[in-house]
């Protein structure tokens, strides 16, 4: 992947309709369930990002025919629960942590061996949170001291388990539920805090009997998935950068149409409103079992808050954007209970703290969060650490900095948000290739 540096400069007020790409989490899950369903499923609004394409390529390598009639559309010819075929070559997940963790659960129940690999960034991400509970179900998975590559041994009979997650994680929960499809008996997952329930909703849409409520999910192995069409909503995590940007740039007003509003995903919306943001929802409806709506955001003065820990699991991917909002709000923002940020694409607490200090912000790291003292941001240079959400967050920071903000190595933005630069500049950002 070629290196790409950005320069983000103070710009004009933001205006316009911003249609962000399809939800990455839904796109991953739709591909996987459609692949092991019986029949032909059509996915509309599919995210054309590198992460989701990597998952599609892995499934194709496992014998699933996936057609692309047009951009943002996939037709998946399901092979049934036991129709996947092994590959003698490693399965490359690229930078997709969601893809690797969910595929680990799916592959644990197969009759063949598989090896999952990833890029340099993904190869540093911990996988024991998935492999340890899968081992309790009977799976055999070898790791490199808890890191990828993962060697998943096939032919292992799986047993359903009742498992209490030590840390709330939708990815771990989803991996165990996918393994549970192949397990004997019931698989029940209990969470310390509710996380997004995309997998549960989608399993039900594909016809698998599943009982779920916030913080708990239970299913029985041995049923079948039946093809269904999936409409992927616009990704709330991608919308997050524009919600923060329009909130902090005076004179701004943006409309973000058809954004997914799953209540386990919209913690940032509630956090920004607690800080004084002016964000309204219009045309609220349901699509494919998922709530969606148009978000309208207008500039408003923000103030610091002590973030309720109950919001943390519902906004774990949006924290880099929140850090920017807190850095320019009046007063102090305190974040606790977000230790999972340290094991994302980068250590997002450390990466955001270092970057914000480079721009003159006052921020104190804690083990599970940060204390951010709001004020003004200066110009400077920051490192993305190959983390797409870090790069886009500092692009937002540049809008209100005293001068240009250089963001080093933004090449991974395409993993989740292809076309970000063009869409951002179209509504008023001043983002340039820094060369």
Residues that are catalytic: 317
Within a 10 A sphere around the Cβ of 247, how many other Cβ atoms? 29
Burial class (CB in 10 A: 0-12, 13-18, 19+), 139: buried
Give the span between the Cα atoms of 316 and 20, in whole angstroms: 19
User: 189 - beta bridge partners?
Assistant: 163, 217
Region for residue 305 given its phi and psi (left: phi exceeds 0; alpha: psi -120 to 50; beta: otherwise): beta
75 in helix, strand or coil?
strand
Q: How far apart are CA 302 and CA 292, in angstroms?
A: 26
Q: Which residues neighbour 418 within 8 Å (Cβ) at sequence distance 6 or greater?
A: 21, 47, 48, 49, 50
Distance CA 372, CA 367 (A): 14
Beta strands in 304-368 (DSSP E): 332-335, 362-366
**Measured distance CA(22)–CA(340) in Å, rounded:** 24
Residue 34 is given by DSSP the state H
CA 78 to chain centre: 25
First to last CA, the chain: 15
Instruction: Say how far apart CA 148 and CA 189 lie, in whole Å.
Output: 24
């Amino acid at each position: 992947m070629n290196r790409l540096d950005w320069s983000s400069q103070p710009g004009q007020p933001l205006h316009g309709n911003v249609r962000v790409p399809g939800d990455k989490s839904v796109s991953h899950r739709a591909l996987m369930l459609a692949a092991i369903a019986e029949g032909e499923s059509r996915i509309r609004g599919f995210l054309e990002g590198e992460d989701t394409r990597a998952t599609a390529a892995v499934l194709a390598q496992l014998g699933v025919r996936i057609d692309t009639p047009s951009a943002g559309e996939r037709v998946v010819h399901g092979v049934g629960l036991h129709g996947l075929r092994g590959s003698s070559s490693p399965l490359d997940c690229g930078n997709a942590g969601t893809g690797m963790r969910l595929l680990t659960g799916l592959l644990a129940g197969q009759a063949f061996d598989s090896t999952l690999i990833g890029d340099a960034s993904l190869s540093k991400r911990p996988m024991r949170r998935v492999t340890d509970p899968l081992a309790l179900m009977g799976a055999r998975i070898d790791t490199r001291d808890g890191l990828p590559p993962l060697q998943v041994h096939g032919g292992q009979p799986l047993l359903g388990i009742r498992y209490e997650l030590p840390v709330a994680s939708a990815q771990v929960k989803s991996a165990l539920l996918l393994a549970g499809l192949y397990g004997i008996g019931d698989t029940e997952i209990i969470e310390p805090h509710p996380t997004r329930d995309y997998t549960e909703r989608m399993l039900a849409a594909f016809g698998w009997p599943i009982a779920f409520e916030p913080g708990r999910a239970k299913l029985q192995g041995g049923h079948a998935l039946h093809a269904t069409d999936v409409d992927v909503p616009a990704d709330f995590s991608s919308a997050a950068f524009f919600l923060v940007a329009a909130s902090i740039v005076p004179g701004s007003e943006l409309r973000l149409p058809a954004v997914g509003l799953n209540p386990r995903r919209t913690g940032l919306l509630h956090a920004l409103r607690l800080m004084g943001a002016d964000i309204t929802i219009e045309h609220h409806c349901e699509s494919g079992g998922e709530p969606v709506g148009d978000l309208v955001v207008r500039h408003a003065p923000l103030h610091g808050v002590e973030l309720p820990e109950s919001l943390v699991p519902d906004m774990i991917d949006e924290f880099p954007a929140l850090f920017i909002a807190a850095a320019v709000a009046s007063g102090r923002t305190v974040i606790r209970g977000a230790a999972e940020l340290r094991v994302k694409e980068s250590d997002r607490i450390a990466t955001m703290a270092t970057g914000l200090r480079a721009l003159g912000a006052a921020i104190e790291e804690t083990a599970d969060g940060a204390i951010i003292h709001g004020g003004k941001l200066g110009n400077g240079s920051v490192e993305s650490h190959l983390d797409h959400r870090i790069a886009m967050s500092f692009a937002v920071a540049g809008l209100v900095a005293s001068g240009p903000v250089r963001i080093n190595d933004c090449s991974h933005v395409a993993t989740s948000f292809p076309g970000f630069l063009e869409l951002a500049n179209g509504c008023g950002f001043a983002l340039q290739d820094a060369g």
